[in-house]
Every structure is written in structure tokens, then in C-alpha cells.
């Protein structure tokens, strides 16, 4: 499990090292890693490395944003090459072999040299961080396309899909020459949609509604992108707008180009392309259109528009504005009676690092627990059940033993995976503990930490040397609700118990019912299901009433509830409920539908049980 400190920029929180270290120390005896979404590389030091490191070292993400110092100054990133190198080097020295980096292209004032500077920066970092005998530092790089946002100095900036594409191509070519680099580029269509919506006016509401009607939604998901982009394109066209509608109407998006002339592409007939014109900035030129009203001007964020204009000018001159938390106020307008004042609280001292989690591998007591899976919990997968027990044990503060190695995991072992959707009143799970715990106390604590739909029936102590339930498992008893399918509704005459009985007897009498199975290695083999079959019977009405509600619920809908016992071994030889249905189909020469499966018992071999 992991403990994530979630915020947009948690490194800005000055007390992060102190708070992070305190959390890390408190979780010292738990198998929980601490992670942060992304952090300021200039604040990454040994303390943060200790907080994030350990056996379950999480991934590390830094966001230098731009590839050259000049660009980082334009966007006022406040990060020098030296700081970037120091942070990445510290990460490498502290054991990270892979670092995620986040960059943007299409920033105001960006030239091709700045774009290629991203590749240059990665190459330089790799070279500077190379250590003899150590694996080369590798990078996962995300390149996103800058889309300006309202209420920022770049709210006037124009972006261009074709420029994004050209720069992506340039960078892709350059990346090919770098080993140990995995790059991920944001789809330009996503950026076009983001930009269109990001700086829209009232006319946008019709487009948004129409795009949604046409199937847009979850647009950032790669599998939704084609559909979303087509929906947006159609919705924009139907509204009589174009992808660059604001630019076409007022031209203001080009005002920080190297020319103050209105955009020559206004008459372009490619207006339906997601194309906002842009050009590289040679020299910042103030433009009277900066004073034109913007559709979000009526929203007061506290920041003065005049200040944004001045800040844009400063940005284009690559003048760094210091962080007002520490140095000088540039009078942006936020501080005052409405929003209060910028107050910096000095962080608490960083506690002493008490070391990483050391898994306790001692095994003193083994407990075998019988549990059920009912109601909504039937929809929880096997893997999630494993996690559920892990969390429950931790919540209940039970002294669970751990495996060793690089990825220590709690010694909790579920005897056999139950198919998704099946209910059960007979599952088994083994626990190994570092201390002896009273059985009743163990059960009580575990029940309190588990959902009510995972009932605990009993707990037994087994010898520390005994074989696990996984190894001892031999057979399983199931109740299945089955329905006989008919060719047409008119044939749907109720089947008599005697008819079911006949089919059951045929299955029981059969010596060979083969099923073709493909092994993991792709080999096709014929499996005789009769070898895995032990018992089959029709459950009478009286017996049905004693069944758990999960299967009883299907009594009316199904035509029969059958009980069977089949092989259930973890070496792959098991008789699944669908296979019993297959056996019935082979004998009765008709089709059946399996409505529900309930596992009522697991049988362990008595050999090895102490
Ligand atoms: S101190 Fe307040 S007014 Fe001054 S720049 Fe910072 S946020 Fe703006």
C-alpha cells in the first residue's frame, strides 16, 4: 500500500520535509510506501529521498517544464540548470535508476533551440549522472503542449496545432539518438480541445452541450479521443464557429507575435482545422489589443489585469519575478482586505530519520481462517480480496509476518481464487503471525476490520510447519443455479425433477466427457472432465431452504439448483461450474445457462494437516 500526499505542488509546502519525515517515521513498522505526485527538483534532497525511498521506492517525477534556462525564465519557473542537476543527481545517488520528467512545448517566445534544449538537457543529465558500475539513469519523459489559461500572463498567447506537430516531430527525431529514454507526447487534438474550451466565451455552452450529445466525454482517455475529437469538430461546425473562433473574431490571440499586424490567416479557408496561428516571438511588442475586453474579465481572481500585462512583458524579456513568499512584492493585486496577506509560516524542524521499513520475517503462529463472500463482495476480484485482507490485518494491528526480498508482502494466502460474481460460504485463508495471538481475539479484530459481507466463520491454529491450504486443497463443493434453454418460448414447459435426475444420472454414469483446453504455452489438449468429477445431485426444495440467500435468490429464476463436488487443486486440475454445465449439455444434448455459482466448502487433504 502507499500513502500519497496529494496536491498540485506539494513541494511548495515548506513543511513537507518535516511532515513527510514524521509520517515516514510513524509508518516505519508498516509496509507502506510514501509517495508524492510531482515535486520541485530544486527542493529534492536527502530528506525527501529518505521519505520516498526504501524497499518500495516509488517513482520520482520532476517538472523542469522547459529545456533551456531562457525558457524557464520566461515562464518564471525559478529553476537553474545547477538546481536541476543537483536534484536529479541526488535522486540517482539515493538509488533511483529512473526519473520521470515533464516538459512543455509551444511556450510563448519558444524557438526551435528551446525545443531541442529538452533533448539536450536529458543528454546532459544522463552524462553528468553517470556512475561507473551503475546502470545508466533512464528517463520517462512527458511532452505536453502548452495551452494558455485565463487569468495568467499568457492568456493572450496564441497556440498552433501545426506548430505543436512540427515541434513534436523535431523532438522525436532528436530523442531517437538518446538511449534509455521513453517519451510520451500529448496528442495535439487534446490540446486543441483544451485550448478551445479553456478560453471560451458564452457561445461555448451550446458547443459543449452539442459535443456531449455527440459522444464527447472522458476526452483525455486515449480510447475516447477519436470519438471526442469528431464530436467537438461537428459541434463547433454546427454552431457556426471554428476551432479558432476567437482569433477569427477579434484577432487578439496573435498580439504577441513579432508583428502587430492582424493575423494574415484570418481569411484562410482552413478555418475548420484545429489551427490557431502563431509565430515565434523575435521581440516582444506591446499591442493595443491587450486592452480589449476578455470574456472572463468579469471574474475577479484578485489579480490586476494591468499587472498581468506587465508580467507578460517581463516574461517576454525573460526577467525573473521572485517568489513573493520570500522576496519582494510585485503588487499583483491579490493581497489586501479581500484575500488577506501572504504570510509565510516557518516550517517545524525535520525529525531524525528512523530508517526504512524492515519486514518482520519471524513466523511464530499460523492460523487457518474459514470465511465467506456474499452480497456485493461477490463482485470483488481475487486480487482485491488479497488486498482487502492485507488492509484489514493492518487496520486491526495484527502482527502479520512478511516475506523477505525486494518486495516484502504479508504472509496471507487464500486457498483458491473464486470466480468473480460467485458467492461462497466456504473459503479458506492462512495467516502467519510474528507473535502468538489468542484465536478469539484474532477473530474479533479481523471481523471488526472486514466488511460485513466477508463473514469469518472460524479460526484454527495450525502447526507452523504444516502445509498451506493452497497446497492441501483437493476438492470443492458447489451449488449452481441452472436454467435449461429452449429454442422458442413456446417450448418453455417446466422441466420435471425426474428429467433433471435422468441427466444427472447420465453425467454420473459417463466415463469420458472430453473438453478441449489450451494451455498457457498455447498447446491444445483434451481433458476428460470425468476424471475431475466426484458428485452431482439435484437439490430438493427442503434442502434449498438451508442454502445461503446468495444462491437461494436464484431458485425461482432457475429450473434447478444442483450440488456438485469436483476436483479443486491449484495445479490446474479443477472442475469449474461452467464445465459441469458443459457435461450436462453433452449428455442431455441441449443448452443450459449457468445463473449463479455458490461455493460452499473446500476440502483439504488430511495428509500434512496437523
Ligand atoms: S505579496 Fe501579495 S500582492 Fe504581492 S505579489 Fe505576492 S500575492 Fe501579489
User: How far from chain centre, in Å, is Cα 379?
Assistant: 19
Q: What is the DSSP string of 450-470?
A: S-TTS-EEEEEEE-TTSPPHH
- What pLDDT was estimated at residue 464? 86
Residue 493 lies in a domain: yes
Same structural domain, 457 and 385: yes
Q: Residue 248: is its pLDDT beyond 70?
A: no
pLDDT reported for residue 607 = 59
CA 47 from centroid of its chain's CA atoms: 27
Pocket lined around ligand 1, Cβ cut-off 6 Å? 324, 329-332, 334-335, 342
Structure-model confidence comparison of residues 555 and 574, the more confident one? 574
Cell (9 digits) for 472: 492441501
Residue 245: the pLDDT is 60
Among 310, 335, 343, which is best to mutate for testing ligand 1, by the most ligand atoms less than 8 A from CB? 335
Grid cell 495568467 in the structure block, residue: 152
CB of 577 closer than 8 Å to CB of 594: yes
Residue holding cell 479521443? 225
Of 414, 432, 465, which residue constitutes the final position of a domain?
465
CA 335, chain centre distance (Å): 38
In contact, 562 and 499? CB cutoff 8 Å: no
> What pLDDT sits at residue 390?
94
Residues 495 and 412 in one domain: no
From 153, 307, 325, 329, give the residue whose CB has the most ligand 1 atoms within 8 Å, as the site to mutate. 329
What is the pLDDT, as a whole number, of residue 453? Answer: 97
pLDDT at 160: 81
Indicate the pLDDT class of residue 491, thresholds 50, 70 and 90: low
Residues 484 and 440 in one domain: no
Residues 481, 583 share a domain = yes
- Domain assignment of residue 440, given as a range: 365-465
CB 158 within 8 A of CB 110: no
Q: How many domains does the chain have?
A: 2
Tell me how far apart the alpha carbons of residues 393 and 434 are, in angstroms, rounded to a whole number: 13
Pair 542, 566 in one domain? yes
Q: Which of 322, 338, 342 to mutate to test the pocket of ligand 1 (most atoms within 8 A of CB)?
A: 342
- CA–centroid distance, 350 to ligand 1, in Å, is 28
Q: Is the pLDDT of residue 102 over 90?
A: yes
The minimum-distance atom of ligand 1 relative to the CA of 333 is 3
Asked which of 203-212, 246-255, 378-387, 466-475 is least confident by mean pLDDT, the reply is: 246-255
CATH of the domain at 436: 3.30.70.580
What spacing in Å lies between the alpha carbon of 330 and ligand 1's midpoint?
Answer: 6
Q: Specify the residue for cell string 484575500.
A: 339
Mean model confidence pLDDT for the chain: 86
d(CA 570, CA 468): 12
Q: What is the pLDDT of residue 202?
A: 87
Which atom number of ligand 1 is nearest to the Cα of residue 341? 2
Q: What is the pLDDT of residues 156-196, one digit of tens each?
A: 887 788 889 999 999 999 999 999 999 999 999 988 888 88
CA distance 140 to 286: 38
Task: Calculate mean pLDDT across residues 455-480.
Answer: 95
Q: Decide if pLDDT at 251 tops 80.
A: no
Dihedral pair phi/psi, residue 458, rounded to 5°: -160, 160
Give tens-digit pLDDT for 379-421.
999 999 999 999 999 999 999 999 987 778 899 999 999 999 9
With 80 as the cut, is the pLDDT of residue 515 above it? yes
Averaged pLDDT for residues 429-441: 96
Centre a 10 Å sphere on the Cβ of residue 501 and count the other Cβ atoms it contains: 13
Instruction: Name the percent of the chain lying above pLDDT 90.
Output: 51
The predicted structure's pLDDT at residue 290: 78
Distance 331 CA to ligand 1 centre (A): 5
* Dist. CA 18–CA 348, nearest whole Å: 6
Instruction: Report pLDDT for 265.
Output: 32
**Element spanning 372, H or E:** strand 365-373
Q: What is the mean pLDDT of residues 111-131?
A: 94
Centre of ligand 1 to C-alpha 333, Å, is: 6
Residues in the chain: 610
* Co-location of 477 and 587 in the same domain: yes
Would you say residue 537 lies in a domain? yes
What's the DSSP call for residue 441?
A: H
Amino acid at each position: 500500500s502507499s500513502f500519497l500526499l496529494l496536491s498540485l505542488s506539494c513541494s511548495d509546502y515548506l513543511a513537507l520535509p518535516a511532515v513527510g519525515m514524521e509520517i515516514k517515521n510513524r509508518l516505519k513498522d508498516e509496509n507502506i510506501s510514501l509517495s508524492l505526485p510531482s515535486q520541485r527538483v530544486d527542493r529534492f534532497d536527502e530528506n525527501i529521498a529518505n521519505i520516498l525511498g526504501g524497499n518500495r521506492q516509488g517513482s520520482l517525477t520532476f517538472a523542469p517544464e522547459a529545456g533551456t534556462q531562457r525558457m524557464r525564465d520566461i515562464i518564471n519557473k525559478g529553476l537553474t540548470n545547477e538546481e536541476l542537476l543537483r536534484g536529479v543527481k541526488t535522486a540517482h545517488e539515493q538509488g533511483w535508476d529512473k526519473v520521470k520528467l515533464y516538459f512543455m512545448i509551444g511556450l510563448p517566445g519558444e524557438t526551435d533551440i528551446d525545443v531541442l534544449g529538452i533533448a539536450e538537457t536529458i543528454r546532459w543529465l544522463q552524462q553528468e549522472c553517470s556512475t561507473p558500475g551503475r546502470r545508466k539513469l533512464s528517463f520517462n519523459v512527458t511532452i505536453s503542449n502548452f495551452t494558455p489559461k485565463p487569468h495568467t500572463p499568457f492568456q493572450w498567447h496564441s497556440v498552433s496545432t501545426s506548430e505543436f506537430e512540427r515541434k513534436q516531430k523535431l523532438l522525436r527525431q532528436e530523442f531517437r539518438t538518446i538511449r534509455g529514454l521513453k517519451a510520451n507526447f500529448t496528442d495535439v487534438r487534446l490540446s486543441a480541445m483544451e485550448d478551445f474550451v479553456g478560453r471560451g466565451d458564452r457561445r461555448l455552452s451550446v458547443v459543449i452541450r452539442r459535443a456531449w450529445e455527440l459522444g464527447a466525454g472522458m476526452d483525455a482517455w486515449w480510447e475516447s479521443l477519436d470519438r471526442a475529437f469528431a464530436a467537438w469538430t461537428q459541434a463547433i461546425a454546427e454552431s457556426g464557429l471554428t476551432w479558432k473562433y476567437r482569433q477569427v473574431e477579434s484577432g487578439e490571440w496573435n498580439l504577441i507575435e513579432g508583428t502587430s499586424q492582424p493575423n494574415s490567416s484570418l481569411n484562410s479557408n482552413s478555418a475548420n482545422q484545429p489551427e490557431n496561428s502563431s509565430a515565434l516571438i523575435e521581440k516582444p511588442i506591446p499591442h493595443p489589443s491587450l486592452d480589449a475586453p476578455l470574456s472572463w474579465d468579469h471574474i475577479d481572481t484578485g489579480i490586476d489585469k494591468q499587472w498581468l500585462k506587465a508580467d507578460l512583458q517581463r516574461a517576454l524579456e525573460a526577467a525573473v519575478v521572485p517568489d513573493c513568499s520570500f522576496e519582494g512584492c510585485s503588487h499583483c493585486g491579490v493581497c489586501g482586505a479581500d484575500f488577506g496577506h501572504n504570510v509565510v509560516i516557518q516550517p517545524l524542524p525535520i525529525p531524525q530519520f528512523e530508517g526504512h521499513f524492515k519486514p518482520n520475517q519471524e513466523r511464530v503462529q499460523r492460523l487457518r481462517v474459514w470465511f465467506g463472500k456474499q452480497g456485493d463482495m461477490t463482485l470483488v476480484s481475487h486480487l482485491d480480496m488479497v488486498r482487502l485482507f492485507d488492509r484489514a490485518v493492518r487496520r486491526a494491528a495484527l502482527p502479520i509476518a512478511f516475506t523477505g526480498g525486494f518486495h516484502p508482502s504479508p504472509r496471507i494466502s487464500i486457498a483458491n481464487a473464486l470466480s468473480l460474481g460467485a458467492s461462497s460460504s466456504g473459503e479458506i485463508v492462512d495467516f502467519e503471525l510474528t507473535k502468538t495471538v489468542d484465536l478469539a481475539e484474532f477473530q474479533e479484530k479481523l471481523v471488526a476490520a472486514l466488511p460485513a459481507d466477508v463473514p469469518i466463520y472460524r479460526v484454527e491454529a495450525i502447526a507452523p510447519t504444516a502445509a498451506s491450504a493452497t497446497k492441501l486443497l483437493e476438492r470443492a463443493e458447489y451449488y449452481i443455479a441452472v436454467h435449461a434453454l429452449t429454442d422458442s418460448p413456446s417450448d418453455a414447459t417446466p422441466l420435471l425433477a425426474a428429467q433433471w435426475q435422468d441427466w444427472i444420472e447420465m453425467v454420473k454414469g459417463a466415463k469420458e466427457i472430453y473438453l478441449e483446453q489450451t494451455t498457457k504455452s498455447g498447446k491444445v489438449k483434451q481433458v476428460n472432465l470425468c476424471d475431475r468429477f466426484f458428485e452431482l445431485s439435484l437439490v430438493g426444495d427442503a434442502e434449498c431452504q438451508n442454502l445461503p440467500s446468495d444462491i437461494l435468490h436464484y431458485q425461482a429464476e432457475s429450473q434447478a439448483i444442483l450440488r456438485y463436488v469436483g476436483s479443486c487443486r491449484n495445479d490446474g486440475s479443477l472442475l469449474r461450474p461452467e464445465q459441469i454445465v458443459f457435461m450436462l449439455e453433452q449428455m442431455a444434448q441441449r443448452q443450459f445457462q449457468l445463473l449463479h455459482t455458490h461455493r460452499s466448502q473446500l476440502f483439504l487433504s488430511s495428509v500434512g494437516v496437523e
